[in-house]
Structure 1
Amino acid sequence: MLLDFILVIFASGITSFIDSFLFELESDPIEDIFSIKNAVSIILLAAVIVPFIEELIFRFPLKYERNLVFHFFDFLTKNKAKTFWFKHFRIFFYLFAIAFALMHLTNYSNTNSLFYILAPLIVLPQIIAGITLGYVRLKLGFFWGVLQHGLYNLILFSVALLFFNSNQLTKINNIDYSLEINIVEFGLNNPITLETYKSEDRIDSIIGNNTTVKELAEILDSTDTILLKKSKRLNIRFINKTNSKNPETIILDELIKEFK
């Protein structure tokens, strides 16, 4: 497990480089799943349910006596499938690891061609995990693989929940206005609030917690198609002090800088 973490940290550096310098990795699908869960549900899902299901699909069949598909083919081919399995087992082992990794591409909503070209690098952490978990499954047994997978996810998600759930996007405080926007990684099933306070036609303040970029863009009458599709969650606090500039423009400019 320690070796897995060391290798995955290295591989994650490659993924971070792609995300920072080539194109943004859109993780909206998985964020949508976790945004409506509380902390206990997230940990239960990530550290118990998902590891068991994934190990059942991708590691349980690595032992021939548990592989019902090949047992069926073995019956049809009069034991030829069993011979084929053991002769080419290394290939099957790595194919299961690669299939496990490629399945994690569904965590992202990207559809550009470069995303698919770089897919092996994007899921390199999962390829490494697939290989190490496969080794544990073969050497120690199925439930040891589930345990390692669960502990791995428990550590990652616990650290994310405790230390990285809120990241500051913007903090501006001048004589004209103050604006603070924080990105929220997990909604934790908290109530969504987004209030706009006005005096006549002037926006005095906008206060929002656990809202989405899309909802905020709609409130600000944005026509930007990228912002109107973003489900990333935000906490926002805007105070207009002098009305010297259009508040909608101020906030949308900051959002576009981050998400475009």
Structure 2
Amino acid sequence: MLQLVRNIYGGTIKPKNIETAIYSKPGNKIILLLKIFFVKIILSYSLVFFLSFFKNFENNTVQSIEEDFGLQLSFLIVVIIVPIYEEIIFRLPLVYRPINLALSVFGLCYFFLSSFIFGSNFLTLDINLFYKLVFSLVVALSVYFGGKRFSRLGSFWNGNFQVIYYSSILLFGFAHILNFKINFENYYLLPLVISPHLLAGIILNYIRIKLGFLFCCLFHIFNNLFVFILTI
């Protein structure tokens, strides 16, 4: 396990912009995922235990979704839809292809418009759905055809991979700020509060590069399933 932690640390300190599959057989990859999950549980719940002393921060995301959508639909949202959606945004474009970046931009635009422009949950099918979809699609298509036409975008992406890699981790962490009820006077503690999500971002980025996008999604789904079971 210590060697696994060292591998994740090394892959984070010096990330590489290519998929470097370390196992060819799916069974070996699943075993590695389970080992990584065990490490994540230990580290995450150590952080959560420490954060439990800060009473002003509450994360009731699963309960809130269950109240809005019911148990069965909330299971589908929390365990399947959200993990895949987040992986498309934050991990898919780590390996550069125009389609990967376009899908990521589409998801990010839709989330931004829902949460910050129209002030609604991105899971809600509201009256602004058409505008959000059209705008996000236009931006995503622009990115896709721009990437296909201009090879410099790919060169820039690969040449600045470490910045993009770390930005993915930070954006993933800070995107979860909306999960918490935060008093204004405690905003300086935000980096600490989202530290479990930053840790998750580090681990998911490592899996994305080492095992590929599919296994990254599987890990995220299994993680959310574990959380869902604990919180219902």
TM-score interval w.r.t. the shorter chain?
0.5 to 0.7
Match of 1:18 among 54, 57, 75: 54
**Structure-2 change in CA distance of 1:35 and 1:71 (3 Å):** closer
**Structure-2 change in CA distance of 1:160 and 1:90 (3 Å):** same
TM-score (norm. length: structure 1): 0.53
% same residue: 30
Aligned to 1:152: 223
Contact 1:97 1:131 (C-alpha < 8 Å) held by counterparts: yes
Q: What RMSD over aligned residues (CA atoms) do the two structures have, in Å?
A: 2.3
- 1:84 to partner: Cα distance: 2.2
Alignment of 1:1-260 (within 5 A): 1-19=37-55, 24-27=56-59, 31-65=63-97, 66-68=100-102, 74=147, 78-114=150-186, 116-161=187-232
**Structure-2 change in CA distance of 1:29 and 1:137 (3 Å):** closer
**Structure-2 change in CA distance of 1:36 and 1:82 (3 Å):** closer
Flag structure 1 segments of 5+ consecutive residues without an equivalent: 162-260
| Greater length-normalized contact order (CA 8 Å, ≥ 6 residues apart) | 2
Contact 1:29 1:106 (C-alpha < 8 Å) held by counterparts: no
- 1:107 to partner: Cα distance: 0.9
Higher helix share: 2
Q: Secondary structure at the match of 2:181?
A: coil
Flag structure 2 segments of 5+ consecutive residues without an equivalent: 1-36, 106-142
Q: Which amino acid aligns with 2:81?
A: I
Contact 1:43 1:158 (C-alpha < 8 Å) held by counterparts: no
- 1:113 to partner: Cα distance: 3.4
TM-score (norm. length: structure 2): 0.59
**Structure-2 change in CA distance of 1:73 and 1:18 (3 Å):** farther
* Rounded Cα–Cα distance in structure 2 between residues aligned with 1:29 and 1:155: 14
CA deviations 1:44-79 (Å, max 9, x no partner) are 221111111111111111110222367655567x43
